[in-house]
Amino acid sequence: MSDTVEQSDETTVADRFQHALRVGSLDVCFDYLRDEALTDGVRASLYCRLGEAWYYRGMRDAAVGCARAAFELQPGSEPIADFCAWLFSNCERHDEAAAAYERLIAMRPRWAAGHRHASGSFAVVGQSDRAVYHAERASELEPDSFEFAFHAGAVLEAAGRWAEAAQYFARAAASDPASARVLRHLSACSLALGQFEAALDFAQRAAATAPDDRLSAIHAAELLLRAERLDEAAHIIQPSLVGNPQDDIAWRLLAEIEMRRHRPHDALAAIEQALGTAPDIAEYHVYRGNLLYRLGRFDAAADAFGQAAVLDPTNAETKRSQLTVFFDAGRLREALAVGGELITAAPGNEEYAQAVLQVLNRRFAGFDADCVVLDDGVTRLPRSPRPAGGLIEAALTQWRVVRALIIRETRTRFGDSTLGYGWALLEPMLHILLLSLVFAVMMHGRPPIGTQFFIFYYTGIIPYHLFVHTSSSMTYAVTSNGPLLQLPLVRTFDVLIARGLLELVTDLIVAGIMLAGFVFVGIGALPNDGLGVAGSLAAIWLLGCGIGFSNAVVTGFFRSWDKIWAQLTRLLYFCSGIFYVPGMMPDWVRDILAWNPVLHAVDWFRSSFFIEYEPHWLDRSYLLAVAALSLLAGLALERALRRRLYEPS
């Protein structure tokens, strides 16, 4: 009898709740939910109805509160979990939605859509491992589903698991071969895996499948631009702009393509179209300024850089470009004003200081033209015109540029390391110490020449390091000093020779310090032939410069060359007689090694220290000839391809 009464009371409360819900008295509904006669199941169900009503009224916080109460009352109820998962997802409470979906999946283990929803929620809250698990599970349960396969690929791609992502995108492509979106993602995965040709093929297929899809067109054009297939890139991006004339990103890409095709006027028209759509992007103004500067329209270029500086006042490089344009246009007062801002923002920047100094020098040289003297009645003879600067003045100006670059490189070379410039001294010391310890044991305490392992390996390491440091540092000089090459007075030759001179000075200082250290600890280490030491080091440095010039040119067109060169220098380490004497080798091996000019430099340097060491295979004229030829070849390559080594963007 009591059970019947309780059910009757519960039904009455539920009916009253429903009536209040229908008439919109949602606050009254809360009063009914407090009735102690309700069971947990009924109460949870009523909370769900109230939460739904709050949701459709736009009161999401109240709706979420109701769902939480229902979920807490009946965590094992499938309908309650289903409703809560839906509400939490729509109210963007993705962590709670993920928990609700996992509760449902435990009840319906083969529910593929549930795994898909759970994956999406976990992805939003950053739990990539759980997101990947549920995404893969959804696709495994329904392997023919395009949606599930594509979602799994997208989640894996976001997690950086490119190879696995490509497999799921391939499954999606099998379901819908005409999906440009899938082909574009396959291209992105291939690119991340280093498979450029496959990436380009997928990108072109995506663009051909959906020629009106702007994303596919942009992606394909970018890859074709990277491959220097400029006409094909233009052929893809131009039709996309017909259907999307307000696409500023595509216009910016077209500007770069036209610039690479040596059509600066067309590039200028394209970047102005991009600015018409997105006038607040500073980078577009910078690009336009560079184009105008290239076309010799200095005043317009200065205005473009000025607009970029207004949009991005913290970008010092924009102001640096503005200073250059003012300088070339002869607007020295504006150049000095911008230079003052640069110096104020970065008082320790040597490059900015040198730029302002150039402006001041030119300003002082032009004072005579700026001054107006009133007639004081005294007749003066006409002043002879100022003679034009000659070769000596040009050489001095260029030396000041190189000197400024050397100072800049000195300050930045080891700026990120704790020991700073001490690494330059520590590297050869550790090298010599390690070789001495190892070979002292292997050779029973006696080096191949002399009595001190330290001196023997010193005479091998110093010329080798001078060659490797010079050639390697010059390899990166152009690619790492792009902004400097926008300055009128700075050429690719300047940044290259500055690197070479810095390495020469650094390695000579290190060699001198080490030599003094050997003498200080009582190791006789003074050379017997000072001219031989100087000659060998000069020859190997010139050889390093020649190879460095060539490396810089090759790196400008083939960016992976630096990695290949690093491996070649490691091979040279074993072929240059650093830790052995070539006379210890069989004749046929020594004859092969003798083709290596670095070996001759090492033996020339070593024979200048050890009077008893006179290798018959040493050919100083061969080393000098190879150094001269390599230097001439490197200079010729740099001069011929100077304009193509750095294109301002």
Span 329-351, mean pLDDT? 71
The more confident residue out of 465 and 357 is 465
Predicted pLDDT of residue 88: 87
- Taking the CA of residue 618 as centre, how many other CA atoms within 13 Å lie in the half-sphere pointing to its CB? 19
Write the DSSP symbol of residue 161.
Answer: -
Q: Which amino acid is at 522?
A: G
Query: For residue 305, what are its two tokens?
Result: 């850089």
Query: For residue 272, what are its two tokens?
Result: 């102005």
* 627-639 exposure pattern, b = at least 16 Cβ within 10 A, e = fewer: beebbeebbebbe
Measure the CA–CA gap between 219 and 295, rounded to whole angstroms: 29
Predicted pLDDT of residue 373: 37
Predicted pLDDT of residue 372: 39
| Highest-pLDDT range among 67-71, 153-157, 239-243 | 153-157
Span 43-47, mean pLDDT? 81
Quick one: three-class SS letters along 566-627?
Answer: HHHHHHHHHHCCCCCCHHHCCHHHHHHHCCCHHHHHHHHHHHCCCCCCCCCCCCHHHHHHHH
Task: Check pLDDT > 60 for residue 283.
Answer: yes
Query: For residue 284, what are its two tokens?
Result: 């577009």
Query: For residue 308, what are its two tokens?
Result: 């970029």
Predicted pLDDT of residue 115: 87
Measure the CA–CA gap between 144 and 360, rounded to whole angstroms: 72
Predicted pLDDT of residue 518: 78
Q: How confident is the model at residue 628 (pLDDT cuts 50, 70, 90)?
A: very high
Span 57-69, mean pLDDT? 85
Predicted pLDDT of residue 36: 62
Predicted pLDDT of residue 55: 84
The more confident residue out of 504 and 375 is 504
Task: Check pLDDT > 60 for residue 366.
Answer: no
Predicted pLDDT of residue 355: 66
- pTM score: 0.49
Span 329-353, mean pLDDT? 71
The more confident residue out of 370 and 176 is 176
- Residue 90 phi/psi, 5-degree rounding, is -70, -25
Query: For residue 412, what are its two tokens?
Result: 């930045």
**DSSP letters along 251-313, please?**
HHHHHHHHHHTT-HHHHHHHHHHHHHH-TT-HHHHHHHHHHHHHTT-HHHHHHHHHHHHHH-T
Phi-psi map region of 142: left, alpha, beta (phi>0 left; psi -120 to 50 alpha): beta
% of the chain exceeding 70 in pLDDT: 78
Q: How confident is the model at residue 379 (pLDDT cuts 50, 70, 90)?
A: very low
Closest CA to 537 of 629, 602, 616: 602
Predicted pLDDT of residue 426: 64
381-391 pLDDT, tens digit per residue, is 444 444 444 56
Span 362-371, mean pLDDT? 46
The more confident residue out of 517 and 356 is 517
The more confident residue out of 500 and 4 is 500
CB-neighbour burial class of residue 371 (10 A; exposed 0-12, middle 13-18, buried 19+): exposed
Task: Check pLDDT > 90 for residue 545.
Answer: yes
Task: Check pLDDT > 50 for residue 326.
Answer: yes
Closest CA to 453 of 473, 470, 431, 475: 431
Predicted pLDDT of residue 383: 42
Write the DSSP symbol of residue 526.
Answer: -
Measure the CA–CA gap between 387 and 405, rounded to whole angstroms: 29
Span 224-252, mean pLDDT? 88
163-209 pLDDT, tens digit per residue, is 998 998 898 888 888 888 889 898 999 989 899 999 889 889 888 88
Is residue 322 a contact partner of residue 328, using CB atoms and an 8 Å limit? no
Q: How confident is the model at residue 37 (pLDDT cuts 50, 70, 90)?
A: low
Report the chain's mean pLDDT, rounded to a whole number.
79
| Highest-pLDDT range among 64-73, 411-420, 537-546, 550-559 | 537-546
Q: How confident is the model at residue 626 (pLDDT cuts 50, 70, 90)?
A: very high
Is residue 578 a contact partner of residue 540, using CB atoms and an 8 Å limit? no
Range list of β-strands (E), 151-284 = none
81-91 pLDDT, tens digit per residue, is 888 888 888 88
Q: How confident is the model at residue 547 (pLDDT cuts 50, 70, 90)?
A: very high
Measure the CA–CA gap between 643 and 22, rounded to whole angstroms: 78
Predicted pLDDT of residue 539: 94
Span 515-536, mean pLDDT? 82
395-407 pLDDT, tens digit per residue, is 777 787 788 777 7
Measure the CA–CA gap between 547 and 184, rounded to whole angstroms: 41
Is residue 492 a contact partner of residue 642, using CB atoms and an 8 Å limit? yes
Predicted pLDDT of residue 2: 34
